[in-house]
Amino acid sequence: MSHTHVLAAVSRLDKVLIGLGAALAGLLLALPLFGSPLIVDKLTLLMIYIILAVSWNLLAGFAGLVSVGQQAFIGLAGYFVLRLAEAGMAPFPALIAGAVVVLLVAWPLSWFVLRLKAAEFAVAMWVLAEAIRSVIMFDPLVQGETGRSLVTLNAIDADLRRTAIYLMAVASAILVLAVSYRLLRGRLGGESQAIRDDEEAAGSVGVSTMRVKRTIFLISALGCAIAGTLWLASAITYQPRAAFGINWSVFMLFMVLVGGLGSFLGPVLGALLLFALQEAFGDFGAWYLTGIGCVAMLFALYAPRGIIGLITDRLGREPLSMRKELDVRSERRGR
């Protein structure tokens, strides 16, 4: 049987954007050759923000699972890296393994939290994050409030270390973006959106709701865990209160809601905005947090679909939309 029905071709704009993205990725990977250490450090942070925003958007924007406890995986990843390094693993392998080990915690957790609905899920995730932090603070290795440094990583030459962590961050961001693009364009994208819109109806058309939610939950947890290890790698010191801080959830919410919930490009734009705001106003301390709150409020009131919504209204279509469009012209030819 020949397949006559096709999806509409990728638009010119999207092709240009993907090309630009690829060029930008190449530029970012080459940056350590000519960029100053300060720029490299700052861009590492930007990559961490992008990874976090994309991961949170997968969960909330596509599967409808709003969590304010993803810092559980950020904090846990850092902790596992410390533990693995303490057990004798070399620092860079520990950074990768630490993130993967988080899945061993996220998987059993998913059986419990994914049975909860909406607000219960959101709050349960926060409670879990706090509970896990409390437990970890009992570990003598972490020394409670004091925290601990990843000493073996600190022993590596500063320039080499900076470049390596930066490259890991860029590679991870590219990976997270590419994986989520593939998944959302495929079957999982449609299934997760169906669950977001109406979980019972999704089940009635054969969507294995638990399996889909668990898959998205685990991918998102892994994304946050990668961000967590990268953050530990660039900060060197691990303090449970910071690693499990609710700030992370505030940032993720800000980036995704301001960028555009449930869009592909929105979280990236939101991460850029948060990064820019921190660069511009970070010196004002607490006032800058107030400013971020005001920006979020203005968006909620006047541009609820975020930056991507403003762009979509102007262009008439969403750039890099995950929408699957049936090519109705080929439809007529085919019949």
Partner 1 sequence: MTQHPSPGTGDLHNDAPPRAVVLSADRLVKRFGSLRALDTVSFHVRDGEAVGVVGPNGAGKTTLFAALAGTFPVNEGRISFGGQAITHASAETRNALGLARTYQVPRPFLGMTVFENVLVAAQAGGGAGQAEARDLAADVLARTGLMPLANVPAAATGLLDRKRLEVARAIATRPRVILLDEIGGGLTEAELVKLIALIDSLKAAGLTIVWIEHILHALLKVVTRLVCMAEGRVLAEGDPQEVMKDPSVRRAYLGSDPE
One of 201, 276, 294, 297 touching partner 1 (CB under 8 A): 201
Q: Is residue 6 a contact point for partner 1 (CB under 8 A)?
A: yes
Q: Is residue 182 a contact point for partner 1 (CB under 8 A)?
A: no
Tokens linked to 122: 């959101």
Q: Is residue 198 a contact point for partner 1 (CB under 8 A)?
A: yes
**CB of residue 8 vs partner 1: minimum separation in angstroms?**
8
Minimum CB distance to partner 1 smaller for 209 or for 278: 209
CA distances from 68 to 13, 25, 151, 184, 188 (A): 34, 30, 31, 22, 23
Minimum CB distance to partner 1 smaller for 159 or for 331: 331
Would you list the DSSP string of 100-156?
Answer: HHHHHHHHHHHHHHTTS-HHHHHHHHHHHHHHHHHHHHTSTTTTTTT-EE-HHHHTS
Instruction: Report the site for partner 1 in 52-71 (rule: CB under 8 A).
Output: none
One of 204, 283, 316, 333 touching partner 1 (CB under 8 A): 204
Minimum CB distance to partner 1 smaller for 211 or for 241: 211
Minimum CB distance to partner 1 smaller for 151 or for 326: 326
Q: Is residue 203 a contact point for partner 1 (CB under 8 A)?
A: yes
What sign results for the dihedral spanned by CA atoms 121, 122, 126, 127? negative
Q: By CB under 8 A, how many residues form the interface with partner 1?
A: 33
Say if CB 5 and CB 334 are below 8 A apart: yes
**CB of residue 122 vs partner 1: minimum separation in angstroms?**
19
**CB of residue 201 vs partner 1: minimum separation in angstroms?**
4
**CB of residue 116 vs partner 1: minimum separation in angstroms?**
18
Instruction: Report the site for partner 1 in 216-235 (rule: CB under 8 A).
Output: none
Would you list the DSSP string of 227-275?
Answer: HHHHHHHHH-EE-HHHHT-THHHHHHHHHHHHH-TT-SSHHHHHHHHHH
Q: Is residue 241 a contact point for partner 1 (CB under 8 A)?
A: no
Tokens linked to 199: 């979980």
**CB of residue 213 vs partner 1: minimum separation in angstroms?**
12
Long-range (24+ apart) CB contacts under 8 A made by 3-11 are: 4/330, 4/331, 4/334, 4/335, 5/326, 5/327, 5/330, 5/331, 5/334, 6/327, 6/330, 7/324, 7/325, 7/326, 7/327, 8/325, 8/326, 8/327, 9/327, 11/317
Select the span of 77-85, 263-271, 304-312, 324-332 touching partner 1 (CB under 8 A).
324-332
Of 35, 3, 8, give the one whose Cα is nearest residue 328.
8
One of 161, 196, 213, 305 touching partner 1 (CB under 8 A): 196
Beta-bridged to residue 148, according to DSSP, are: 238
Instruction: Report the site for partner 1 in 250-309 (rule: CB under 8 A).
Output: 262
List CB contacts of 242: < 8 A, sequence separation 6 or more.
Answer: 147
Q: Is residue 14 a contact point for partner 1 (CB under 8 A)?
A: no
Q: Is residue 333 a contact point for partner 1 (CB under 8 A)?
A: no
**CB of residue 3 vs partner 1: minimum separation in angstroms?**
4
Round to whole Å and give the CA distance between 39 and 45: 10
Q: Is residue 115 a contact point for partner 1 (CB under 8 A)?
A: no
**CB of residue 54 vs partner 1: minimum separation in angstroms?**
19
Contacts to partner 1 by CB under 8 A: 1, 3-8, 186-187, 190-191, 193-194, 196-198, 200-209, 262, 323-326, 328, 331
